[in-house]
Amino acid sequence: MGDAAAALAPLALSSMYAQRWADRASLAPFFALGRSLGFDRFELSHDVPAEALAAIAPGSVQIASVHHPCPTAGAWVAGGLVSGDRAARAAAVAALRTTIATAERVGAPVVVLHLGRAADDADETARRLRFEVTNRFLAGQAGSERSALARDRLAAWVAAREPEHLEHGIASLREVLPDAAERGIALAVETGYHPDELPTPEGLRALLDALGAEHGTAGAWLDTGHVGARAALGFAAPEDWRAAAGGRWLGAHVHDAVGLRDHLAPGSGTLDLVALLAMVPGGAPLTLEVDWHLAPDEVADAARHVLALRARPDSKPSEHLRSGPRW
């Protein structure tokens, strides 16, 4: 691939960008474009169909990480890891084993996964509160008393239910960690976008502490846009995630955001990416995870922007998160 193809190393490009092609049966056009831009490694996202995955010859592409579920499956798969329903949890664990096998086949050392959401009550409490909090934010009412009340109710609702769901999630991961370790694959729990997604920072700390002595590597995966969106709504701040993970980040999805609109080109939004990148250990893999509508030159410029930020002295991981003017 030559020097040009390694120009953006060690940054990977997520196959989320492959959604720009209507025909999803092959990722060959995505890999070809990525290489022409300077990427020499890629992440397989959770939207890769089975036929596209089967067409990737082992060793033909450097895959830095695989996002569960891969190949793609129903949305219930990830959420099932924390489900109180035994059958749903068993199906979710089986799907995660499939993703781990995918990672082994393509040579990826990390599987990135979401635990899922706290399950809704019969009256759809969480969904309704999430709708209200989000729409008051979009209407410019985030600072209002009514918005604060809805936000506090949703946070309390999640906090009351997280311990039980977290126990299920820990049990699910314990089932697959030995298999992942035998295949040389680490499991990374990603920070979620929605305020009722699990884990919260407190839950992340508990999960990592519980799995720290297990046979296999479990860690956290930072998603810059997700953290920014939750902070914008008034939930967990970036420093809460930093304190919870305690340096146990295995990598990061890097993209920018404006309010709740994420997956923008880094440098085009309002996130303090220098401070966010400072949370991640220097050797941890970074994946550019941007939306399909960006032009190829925007993707290449965004990648160079991330690498320039990472090279800055104040972006180096440290014990304390350097605060920035904006999130």
Residues belonging to the chain: 327
Using pLDDT thresholds of 50, 70 and 90, give the confidence band for residue 321.
very low
Residue 139 lies in a domain: no
CA-CA distance, 219 to 248, in Å (whole number)?
5
pLDDT per residue as tens digits for the range 140-173: 999 999 999 999 999 999 999 999 999 999 999 9
Residue 143 lies in a domain: no
Does 6 have pLDDT greater than 90? no
Would you state the pLDDT for residue 181? 95
Higher-scoring residue by pLDDT: 108, 84: 108
Would you state the pLDDT for residue 282? 87
Tokens matching residue 24: 């999803």
Helical axes 86-106 vs 145-182, angle rounded to 10°: 60
Does 41 have pLDDT greater than 60? yes
**SS3 letters for the chain?**
CHHHHCCCCCCEEEHHHHHHCCCCCCCHHHHHHHHHHCCCCEEECCCCCHHHHHCCCCCCCCEEEEECCCCCCCCHHHHHHHCCCHHHHHHHHHHHHHHHHHHHHHCCCEEEECCEECCCCCCCHHHHHHHHHHHHHHCCCCCCHHHHHHHHHHHHHHHHHHHHHHHHHHHHHHHHHHHHHHCCCEEEEECCCCCCEECCHHHHHHHHHHHCCCCCCEEEEEEHHHHHHHHHCCCCCHHHHHHHHCCCEEEEEECEEECCEEEECCCCCCCCHHHHHCCCCCCCCEEECCCCCCCHHHHHHHHHHHHHHHHCHHHCCCCCCCCCCCC
pTM for the model stands at 0.92
Instruction: Tell me what percent of the residues of the chain surpass a pLDDT of 90.
Output: 81
Would you state the pLDDT for residue 80? 87
Would you state the pLDDT for residue 318? 42
Worst-scoring range by mean pLDDT, 174-178, 205-209, 276-280, 281-285?
A: 281-285
Residue 301 lies in a domain: yes
Does 79 have pLDDT greater than 90? no
Would you state the pLDDT for residue 118? 86
Would you state the pLDDT for residue 213? 73
CA-CA distance, 44 to 103, in Å (whole number)?
9
Residue 175 lies in a domain: yes
Using pLDDT thresholds of 50, 70 and 90, give the confidence band for residue 266.
very high
Using pLDDT thresholds of 50, 70 and 90, give the confidence band for residue 286.
very high
Tokens matching residue 170: 């820990």
Tokens matching residue 71: 């190949």
Would you state the pLDDT for residue 1? 40
Work out how many domains the chain is built from and give that number.
1
CA-CA distance, 236 to 220, in Å (whole number)?
16
Alpha carbons within 13 A on the beta-carbon side of 73: 19
Does 104 have pLDDT greater than 80? yes
State the CATH number of the domain containing residue 34: 3.20.20.150
Residue 136 lies in a domain: no
Does 320 have pLDDT greater than 70? no
Range of the domain at 230: 2-119+165-315
pLDDT per residue as tens digits for the range 199-254: 999 999 999 999 987 777 999 999 999 999 999 999 999 999 999 999 999 999 99
Return mean pLDDT, the chain: 91
